[in-house]
Structure formats: C-alpha cells, structure tokens
Amino acid sequence: MSFETALKTAQDDIQATLTDLLVAFDGPVGDAMRYATGGGKRLRGFLVLETSALLDVPRERALRAAAAIEAVHAYSLIHDDLPCMDDDNLRRGQPTVHRKWNEATAVLAGDALQSAAFEWLAAPLTHPDASVRAELVLTLARDAGATGMVWGQALDMAAESAEDPLTLEQITELQRLKTGRLLEWPCRAGAILGQADPVHLLRYAADIGLAFQIADDLLDVEGEAATVGKAVGKDADAGKATFVSLMGADAARDRAHALVKSAQDVLLPFGTRAATLAAVARYVVTRDK
C-alpha cells in the first residue's frame, strides 16, 4: 500500500471511530466536539496505527488509542485558539470553535474531549489487559499535562511577555514539550499496546516531533494561508523567536531533513515493515499544511 493510500485509509478509519465514539454526546458541546475532531491530518492517530501495526496490535485496539490522541490534540487546539491564548479565528480553514459557537462552549468542548480520551483508553475494548489500559492513561496524562504539553504552552506564554527572545536551545525545549510530547505519545502507545520496549520508537518520535515543528515554522513563513488552513506570518508579526528566525530558512530546512534521516535510521532494524513510518517522517517536512 502506498503512503498516500495508507494515510487516507487511516484518516477514514479514525474518523469512523471518532464518529462512533462521539455519538454519546448531545447538544452544542457535543456538536463542537465533533466539529473540532473532524478533519485534520490525523498524523498522531496515523502514528498510533503504524507503530501498532509494526508490533502486530489488532487494528481495532489501535484505533481507540488513535481516537484518544486525536481528541486530546483537538482539545489542545480549541483551548489554544481561545482569545485569552493565541486568539485565532481560523483552524483547518474553518472558524475556530469559539468563533462558530462561543467561548464557553469552546472551554467545555475542550474539557470534555480531554475526559473522553481517558474514558476511551480506560475502557476494556481498548485492550483486554487492564495494566496496558492504565499505562496508556498514565503516559497520556503525563504527556498532555503540566509536565508535558501544558508546560510547553506555559513556557510559550512566558516567552511572549519576556524581554529577550528565546535562544535556539530554549525554543527546542519548548517545542519538545508543546508539540513534541503529543507526537511522541502515539509511538509510545504503539509500544504499550504491543507490550514491547518503546525505546526505538521514542527516538524516532523525538526526531519527527522536532522536524514537525521546524516545518511548521517554515510554513508560517513560506506557506499560503488558504492551503495551511490557518493564519500565517503570525510569529514573524509578533516578533516571536522560531527555528526560522533563529537559524534562517535554509539552515532550518537542512536541520529538518537531517532529523528525517535520523528518524529513518532508527527504523532500519525493522526493515521494509517500517516503510510507511519512514514515509511519515518524510511527510512531516514535505507537507504543505
């Protein structure tokens, strides 16, 4: 199966799983939960499916973990887009949740998506072994919480009001938390579901996580808003330190490609079975949105 076909199939399967799981939720908050989890690249969910496939995890189990990480990702975007945070009007080419509904609905839909993710992971259908389910919950709670993604968001907020722009070291640490941790978790989840040592997959994840953020910074400078689906040029306008502002576009691009190569090297022991994961690494830096 080509990478494009595998990604498209994963996107459809993850959407079907989310549609099925989210049917439980009524009213505007339920509608906002469905809206915010609709569309998107499904990169995090795809990583769960592909790392799970590598370890022979049944796809229906991996799909529940994929839905959970997509729900947490969507919650983080809803709250990050709020007026008191990044104040964004557009996400994936559509009005953000607080623009389409209102701020209260956005707060509640984000809150409920976080709860839903843990509900899905903890339910017996995710894995017959409860210790696997508990480990999925524990690791996602850490990666999403105040020592993971939220900590990265707090550093990002602090940077905005700081006198000096961040150094390259600081921005790397910030992004390793803010974006990296929710890109690492899918690879960890594959290993947990497959009851395998996560060490190789986590090295792969760390490389593509950083490459992903560098690519995001390049898109903010070079992308078209219509294609990217959100406002571009925001970081430069805000005088915010990014990989591009600190390294220059060419060096940033070189670094992203080196990280892709490093991620692909980690996969070598898995041979051709990891071909799609190798393609994911390339996709992370060549995507146009």
Interface residue list for its own copies (CB under 8 A): 24-30, 33, 75, 79, 82, 84-85, 102-105, 107-112, 114-116, 118-119, 121-124, 129-131, 133-135, 137-138, 141-142, 144-148, 150-151, 153-155, 157-158
Minimum CB distance to its own copies smaller for 81 or for 207: 81
Distance CA 53, CA 29 (A): 34
DSSP of 132-172, one letter per residue? HHHHHHHHHHHHHSTTTHHHHHHHHHHHHH-SSPPPHHHHH
Phi and psi (nearest 5°) for 141? -60, -40
* Shortest Å distance, C-beta 190 to its own copies: 18
Minimum CB distance to its own copies smaller for 142 or for 282: 142
Minimum CB distance to its own copies smaller for 41 or for 142: 142
* Shortest Å distance, C-beta 240 to its own copies: 15
Closest listed residue to residue 36, CA positions, set 84, 72, 85, 86: 72
* Shortest Å distance, C-beta 270 to its own copies: 29
Minimum CB distance to its own copies smaller for 7 or for 112: 112
Distance CA 149, CA 140 (A): 10
SS3 91: strand
Minimum CB distance to its own copies smaller for 84 or for 225: 84
* Shortest Å distance, C-beta 153 to its own copies: 6
* Shortest Å distance, C-beta 94 to its own copies: 20
What are the start-end ranges of the H helices in 23-129? 27-37, 43-54, 59-80, 97-100, 103-122
